[in-house]
Amino acid sequence: MAQSQAYYVPHGSNWPIVGAVGLFLLMLGLSTTLNGLGFGPVLAWTGVAVVVVMLVGWFSTVIGESEGGTYNQQVDRSFRMGMTWFIISEVMFFAAFFGALFYARQMAVPWLGGESNNFFTNLLLYPGYENTWPTNGPGAIGGEYEPMAALGLPALNTAILLSSGVTITIAHHALKDNNRSVLNWGLFATFMLGFLFVTLQAYEYHHAYEAMNLKLSTGIYGSTFFMLTGFHGLHVTLGATMLVVIWVRCLKGHFTPNHHFGFEGVAWYWHFVDVVWLGLYIFVYWL
């Protein structure tokens, strides 16, 4: 690869150490909160604030450099690869929870029901317990509950998230065609759909807790359901926030038809969130 200009190597930056200290405060705060110490939440929120300041500062620098034309093709490629591998690491994070779900459904619960080499598990410890899904286990942890249906709100949410995948693709094409108003509207629609999704999800959680007695503590079913959908919801929130940032940048006239890594990075992230939801919808709600 012929390099027309040198690879940009920044010299010194304060943001990473700020970020490291922020993370430290945040983790220390969370730990002390869980230990029931009064100053815990204060520490944790301070940590969040420092991290937010760091993110704003760091990204402003990068955006400034990008708009200032500091980055050549090669730097752009670095960012793309970096984002790709970051998303892959996120996929693996979800894989752990999907793994837990599959393990529980295919192994643990059948075993508690006496399958495979666990005849005595069932006979001695849980006589009468049968392998079913959903379940809150032989101890019926969390008591009577109503499982989440696949139709209704979740189906609607699937439609919402899928259409947000369409709108962001429309926006992307518009960006490539230099059609700024379609770009801005497409992005606006995408994050609005994203926030709508989160709102509906919050409503669903509320309903689950209040009306269905389905909680995080409802045995393995509640655990896997809320952990998977919860971490997904968190990622949607993050993604939508990133979309807002990109949207503002678009309004300010950032990005060009062939130089817009920031946009694409967020778009990839959004597609990733989309795909995870599909997995969730199929394995958590439907099957």
Touching another protein, residues 191-220 (CB under 8 A): 215-217, 219-220
The interface with another protein within residues 135-194 (CB under 8 A) comprises: 135-139, 141-142
Please select the residue that binds another protein; options are 4, 11, 151, 210, rule is CB under 8 A: 11
Q: Segment near another protein (CB under 8 A), from 28-36, 149-157, 234-242, 255-263?
A: 28-36
Task: Check residue 82 for interaction with another protein (CB under 8 A).
Answer: yes
H helical segments located in 68-152: 73-103, 109-112, 119-120
- CA 217 – CA 223 distance, rounded (Å): 6
Task: Check residue 118 for interaction with another protein (CB under 8 A).
Answer: yes
Please select the residue that binds another protein; options are 42, 48, 108, 212, rule is CB under 8 A: 108
The interface with another protein within residues 217-236 (CB under 8 A) comprises: 217, 219-224, 226-227
Please select the residue that binds another protein; options are 42, 53, 90, 160, rule is CB under 8 A: 90
Give the count of alpha carbons within 13 A of 137, CB side only.
Answer: 15
- CA 201 – CA 204 distance, rounded (Å): 5
- CA 15 – CA 159 distance, rounded (Å): 39
Please select the residue that binds another protein; options are 43, 109, 243, 284, rule is CB under 8 A: 109
Burial of 35 (0-12, 13-18, 19+ CB in 10 A): exposed
Q: Is the peptide bond before 134 cis (omega within 30 degrees of 0)?
A: yes
Tell me the site size for another protein, rule CB under 8 A: 77
- CA 167 – CA 190 distance, rounded (Å): 6
Task: Check residue 93 for interaction with another protein (CB under 8 A).
Answer: yes
Please select the residue that binds another protein; options are 48, 53, 63, 100, rule is CB under 8 A: 100
CB closer to another protein out of 50 and 171: 50
Tokens of 286: 């439907």
Question: In this structure, are residues 175 and 183 in contact, taking their beta carbons and an 8 Å threshold?
Answer: yes
Q: Segment near another protein (CB under 8 A), from 19-27, 156-164, 174-182, 232-240?
A: 19-27
Closest distance between another protein and the C-beta of residue 142, in Å?
Answer: 8
Task: Check residue 1 for interaction with another protein (CB under 8 A).
Answer: yes
Scanning the structure block, which residue is given the tokens 């793309």?
80
Is the Cα torsion angle 192, 197, 206, 226 positive or negative in sign? Answer: negative
One symbol per residue from 50 to 69: x for binding another protein (CB under 8 A), - otherwise; what is it?
Answer: --------x-----------
